[in-house]
Amino acid sequence: LPGFARTLVTPTIRLSRHQRRVYDLQQKRSGMLAWESPDILPVNGWLTRTWGDIALRNPQATPVLLDSSQEEALWEEAIRSVRSDDPLLNVHQTAVAAVTAWDLLHRWEASFTLSDFEGLEDTEAFFGWMTAVKARLTANGWIMSSELYEAVGEHVRNSDVSLAYVGFDDLFPAARRLFSKLKATEEALPFVQNHSLRRYLLHDQPDEWIQAASWARERLSADPAARIGVAIPGLRGVAGTVERIFDDVLHPSYSLGVPQTRRAFELGIGIKFSETPLISAALLILGLADELKLSDALTLLRSPFVRLKRDARLKLDQELRRQGLDTVSVYATSLKAAFPDLAREADAFPKRQSPVRWSATFSALLKSAGWGNGEALSEKEHHALRQWQDLLSRFARLGTVAPSMTLRQALERVGRLASSTVLHLPDEDAPIQIFDLSEASGLRFDALWVSGLDAAAWPRPIQPNPFLPVRLQRELGMPRSSPEREFAQAQRLTEQLKRSAEEVVFSSTAQTRDEKRLVSPLIEHIPLSNGFAPGWQTAHAVFLSGSTTSGKALVERPPDVAPPLPRDIVHLGGTKILENQSACPFKAFAAHRLNARELGEVPFGVSRLERGSVAHDALHHIWTELKDRDTLNSKTLQQIDSLLETAVNAGLEKQLVKRQRSKGIERFRALESARLRRVLLEWLDQERSRPRFTVVQTEVQDEIAIGGMRLNVRADRIDRYDDDSRAILDYKTGNKISKKSWEGERPDALQLPLYAVTHEAGRVSQIAFAKLTSEETKLIPLSVDRAILQNWRRILEGLAEEYLSGHAEVSPKTSATCVLCDLSSVCRIAERNGRDVEDVIGDGADE
Ligand code: SF4
């Protein structure tokens, strides 16, 4: 660094790291073997450190600096004290936004009075909170980080420090004043002589990133020592996809499970602390001491960071799913038995205590659940563990502004701290650096790709702070306050970027997910390049297939033929076997012979399956009582109402007996009872006008033989008409039913055709769906004759024969079939077709 001073400050952590790396490289190139570490740090870090030094010299007279969580807590308290009655207000988010507004006021040295904030509800409210916050700061001798520019300036003389600054593209007034007072020197970074400047216009974002990754690989192959930058606006929101694409292109063997020592790229955004598996498990364990959503508890059971045997995990998982509670805690019998130490520890602590005490309690709770013990932790996990201790210390410091809190409040605070903390792993110094465009200022590379420069994103759209008067923001030139400012800023940065590397590529896309985009006017004049970087086609195909770089599936294709089955056994899957065989032979094989099925969603309230069973049970009860249409017609509305109430409640009782009682379930039960009684009342009204019938069978289990196969089946209902012919009914509580389900060579619904062809030959004159939904109740009948019955028999015998012979081909009837199937991870339909599984399912949903 030319003219390098004693301490160098930068606006961002990224630029500090970059400058340190440049300095180290210079020392190496000059032949040095060892050298003193340069003092390079972000300006916020330098201010905090300097304030600490000041406090050490004179602790009594120096205001105490609050950390970010203490600041937020103070704002939250102020907001609650003024707006405690607003149920729609998210206090925490509002406090975070208020901190930003307060920060802007200090950085831009705004002077204002109450009248500037009057006239708008939000700005007036902010002024009120700010007044309350200022009063508490003064009364307690505290100071916030945004006040440090002024405060440090008051305490430090220019002779005390030797300061330089670099990369402050947008130097705000508070920093300018401080730097000028301390006579800090500005280090101008030398620009690079640019030899190649070009632009790409790509179809959409994934195409753009695949192109950037393929280009970076090509550049690195040509010069392994090259330093390559890839700038992506809004990187945090798209980091998952970007990482996958760069892995696919640069590290194909990653997805094949081949270990790599070092990646060629580094995603410079850190990891959200709460999303690291170790910390996520810690938060869930602590949640068990209070109340945890069932789905979260099931996630915890799969974590390697809790001490539980594999069998115990599976049993507990099944038990909790069976109970079907919305929330659970460690006091529930099954969990108490699995985590006895945790339950004991959770019972022991006071219900309200200081953050310092909670901090100790949380450590004890985690220890009692065996968190982090037993599993060998990786380097990253050790790093996370150290950061967790630091997080608990930060939480403990909250006691300064919030002396005591309940368990739930403490858990919320710790959860928020974990969500807002970004875990920066040690610098890996990878040759390809991927970073957010907002951090690009001051960075230098051998080659740089800047993506996402469409007209809607560059210059950035204006977005004034909602808590500050817009006039004030514009007068002071605050960020995002006016289009002119943003245009000038973007123009300046674009010019800098052009001179940040010998080779610079800008790119934009023709469309985003929902809309068409134009290229940014700031790069429109740059010559457009056509064609793709080498390897783009392969990488693109891989991205779409969702598999590996070679485009091949990771596992072998499942066999199309399974061993044949014996003919002398009864198959318990009933008509479903034949329906699945018709839908997709592999589905029948996997579901009925391998017993493969998804674990299933945890039901919220009364599940769809349970609602269907309750309707069946209620109708069985009703027709066992009524027996025929004439009896139905003889009943008064009051009598029918009473019958429905008894039938529906008995059905609910029977189905929900397996679930644990909770307030939530009871509320759903009452709602479902009212809904189903209304649906069945409408249905019975329609039954009144049918030709006279007698119910001869309802919900009776039968054994039926077809095509050499014996099946256990149950007909919902069989009616006898006056001419002694039969009607067979199938109750349906879902919406997607029609006569089409019985048509074609591969019918969807086979229960009624199976009954029709096997029930007392020739007697069946009609089959019908009884549609029983909240939107519609109706009979969907089909008259059957000899020809129809013969055709169905042929189809059914063929399907039975296929199943018995082991025909298990992956062959869905249509792509819509896959939408209703949960076995795509077993049959690998997406890899077979070289497509993304979401696309396969999406196509099916469109059908
Ligand atoms: S997902 Fe589709 S192809 Fe796979 S088993 Fe199910 S229906 Fe068959």
Query: What is the C-alpha to C-alpha distance for residues 426 and 447, in angstroms, rounded to an integer?
Result: 24
Evaluate if residue 12 carries a pLDDT over 50.
yes
Whether 224 contacts 205, CB under 8 Å: no
- Residue 841 CA to ligand 1 center (angstroms) comes to 10
Average pLDDT over residues 636-660: 88
- Residue 580 CA to ligand 1 center (angstroms) comes to 10
Q: For the chain, what is the mean pLDDT? A: 87
Q: 661 CB contacts (<8 Å, ≥6 apart)?
A: none
Query: What is the C-alpha to C-alpha distance for residues 547 and 555, in angstroms, rounded to an integer?
Result: 10
Query: What is the C-alpha to C-alpha distance for residues 670 and 660, in angstroms, rounded to an integer?
Result: 16
The DSSP bridge partners found for residue 705 are 710
- The 10s digit of each residue's pLDDT in 64-118 is 999 988 999 999 999 988 765 666 678 888 999 999 999 999 999 999 999 999 9
CA distances (Å), 821 to each of 545, 746, 824, in order? Answer: 20, 16, 7
Evaluate if residue 227 carries a pLDDT over 80.
yes
- The 10s digit of each residue's pLDDT in 756-804 is 998 876 789 999 999 999 999 999 999 999 899 999 999 999 999 999 9
Whether 750 contacts 796, CB under 8 Å: yes
810 CB within 6 A, ligand 1: yes
Q: 561 CB contacts (<8 Å, ≥6 apart)?
A: 806, 807, 808
Query: What is the C-alpha to C-alpha distance for residues 106 and 478, in angstroms, rounded to an integer?
Result: 11
Neighbours of 273 (CB within 10 A): 21
Whether 587 contacts 727, CB under 8 Å: no
Give the predicted TM-score (pTM) of the model.
0.67
**Least confident residue range of 660-669, 680-689, 803-812:** 660-669
Pairing assessment for the beta strands 405-406 and 422-423 based on DSSP bridges: unpaired
For residue 549, the model assigns a pLDDT of 42
Query: What is the C-alpha to C-alpha distance for residues 548 and 538, in angstroms, rounded to an integer?
Result: 10
- The 10s digit of each residue's pLDDT in 582-611 is 999 999 999 999 988 877 666 667 778 888
Looking from the CA of residue 813, the nearest atom of ligand 1 is 7
CA distances (Å), 171 to each of 28, 43, 166, in order? Answer: 32, 12, 10
- Residue 595 CA to ligand 1 center (angstroms) comes to 14
The DSSP bridge partners found for residue 731 are 770
584 CB within 6 A, ligand 1: yes
The DSSP bridge partners found for residue 788 are none
For residue 243, the model assigns a pLDDT of 87
- Grade residue 845 by pLDDT with cuts at 50, 70 and 90: very low
Q: CA triplet 844, 845, 847: central angle to 5 degrees? A: 65
- The 10s digit of each residue's pLDDT in 242-283 is 988 898 888 876 555 555 557 889 887 777 888 888 999 999
Query: What is the C-alpha to C-alpha distance for residues 626 and 412, in angstroms, rounded to an integer?
Result: 56
Q: Which residue has the higher pLDDT, 248 or 453?
A: 453
**Least confident residue range of 107-121, 309-323, 552-566:** 552-566
Of the chain, the percentage scoring pLDDT greater than 70 comes to: 90
821 CB within 6 A, ligand 1: yes
**Nearest protein CA to atom 7 of ligand 1, as residue:** 818
Looking from the CA of residue 821, the nearest atom of ligand 1 is 6
- The 10s digit of each residue's pLDDT in 465-512 is 999 999 999 999 999 999 999 999 999 999 999 999 999 999 999 877
Sheet bearing 501-509, strands edge to edge: 196-202, 501-509, 445-450, 228-232, 432-436, 265-267
586 CB within 6 A, ligand 1: yes
Average pLDDT over residues 202-208: 89
Evaluate if residue 576 carries a pLDDT over 60.
yes
Helix H or strand E segment including 541: helix 536-545
Query: What is the C-alpha to C-alpha distance for residues 4 and 395, in angstroms, rounded to an integer?
Result: 38
- Residue 817 CA to ligand 1 center (angstroms) comes to 7
- The 10s digit of each residue's pLDDT in 720-735 is 999 999 999 999 998 7
Q: Please spell the DSSP secondary structure of 258-310, one letter per residue.
A: ---S--SEEETT-EEGGGSHHHHHHHHHHHHTT-EEHHHHHHHHT-TTS---H
- Residue 614 CA to ligand 1 center (angstroms) comes to 29
Query: What is the C-alpha to C-alpha distance for residues 774 and 735, in angstroms, rounded to an integer?
Result: 9
